[in-house]
Amino acid sequence: MNKPHQPKAPWDHDPVTPRLARVVAARRDSRRLAWQGSVLLAGAVALWWADAAHAGDRLPATWGVSSVDGAAGGGLTPWAVIGGTGSSDQVGGSVAVTEVKTRDHRLRVASAAVGIRDRVELSMARWSFKVSEDVIPGGKSLEMSVLGAKVKVAGNAVYDQDSWMPQISVGALYKMADDVDFLKVVGLPIRSDEDVELYATATKVWLGALAGYNVLGNVTVRWTRANQFGLLGFGSEAEPDHHLEVEGSLGVMLRDDLVLGGEFRSKPDNFGAVPGFEEDNAYDIFLAWFPHRHVNITAAWVDLGNIATKEKQRGWYLSGQLAF
């Protein structure tokens, strides 16, 4: 009878060979160049469209905040809304910096999005995840790049109040994990270091629905095989296939500039047979404040469950966004 796969602790291995170290460095450099090129391309698109239109006509806060994947929405999950303040004949966008600190780990994300005529969104995000020194001596950071596109296909989240129809969008995220070669050396049976996620999302705002307060609801279905959002690669030798995962958000606008809500994000458990690397669903409770039309600050309590042998990874989430 075969025994379950037992990952070896990093300190039980010989040092990574110089050849492997060169390969990892070369792959990381090429991905950073691709990332920088994507940033320049998105900036060029935004400037080109901005010559014809200036953003700013949508109702405050209806473009959401910046999700950790870079798309407009909540902190954990994308919504059907398009990023930036631009309306149907304008171009908008946003930039954001996010930090998540749990009991043992820390995540930093820099992201940007461009919204074109309230129909198409292009986004990007760069992740840096500092792993606990109890897991990897020296506290190595795992890095990942995300490129995204979203298209609104039907409805309007705010203005279609005489219909049950939500705003519906479809999107894709191309994710590239930088450190899969290292993770394979330390014993994780990862299938791939890059992958494409597909999702469909529906968002609806009910004006005055709760004792006069506006209520926002969102449901997202994601086709994915990401391990810990993609930081630990994609799929495993035992679970190589994609799965449908469900995500949701619910918020109440306490004021025009203040939203209180919560989110849920289910995740695949591709390492379920690897002790210590089981994966849990993610939750948060957030408060998003829009002190100015172009500024958003979001604070949250987040529960990410088990991450890399560390259970009950709960802590705070803080994100700042500039939108135009």
Residue 281 within any structural domain of the chain? yes
- Given this model, what pLDDT does residue 37 score? 55
Residue 193 within any structural domain of the chain? yes
Residue 1 within any structural domain of the chain? no
Residues in CB range of 180: below 8 A, 6 or more apart: 190, 192, 193, 232, 233
- Given this model, what pLDDT does residue 28 score? 57
Residue 122 within any structural domain of the chain? yes
Digit-coded pLDDT (tens) for 270-300: 998 888 899 999 999 999 999 998 999 999 9
Q: How many domains does the chain have?
A: 1
Residue 2 within any structural domain of the chain? no
CA distances in angstroms from 252 to 204, 233, 243, 257, 267, listed in the order given: 12, 35, 31, 11, 25
Share of the chain above pLDDT 90, in %: 66
Phi-psi group of 45: left, alpha or beta (phi > 0 → left; psi -120 to 50 → alpha; rest → beta):
alpha
Mark the ranges of the chain whose per-residue pLDDT is less than 50.
1, 3-18, 20-21, 23-24, 40, 46-53
Determine the Cα–Cα distance for residues 248 and 198; give it in Å rounded to an integer: 16
Determine the Cα–Cα distance for residues 308 and 165; give it in Å rounded to an integer: 41
CB 243 within 8 A of CB 225: yes
Residue-range definition of the domain harbouring residue 60 = 10-323
Residue 4 within any structural domain of the chain? no
- Residue 49 phi/psi, 5-degree rounding, is -70, -30
Digit-coded pLDDT (tens) for 52-105: 445 556 777 888 999 999 999 999 999 999 999 888 888 999 999 999 999 999
Instruction: Give the DSSP letter of residue 304.
Output: -
CATH of the domain at 204: 2.40.160.40
Residue 109 within any structural domain of the chain? yes
Residue 53 within any structural domain of the chain? yes
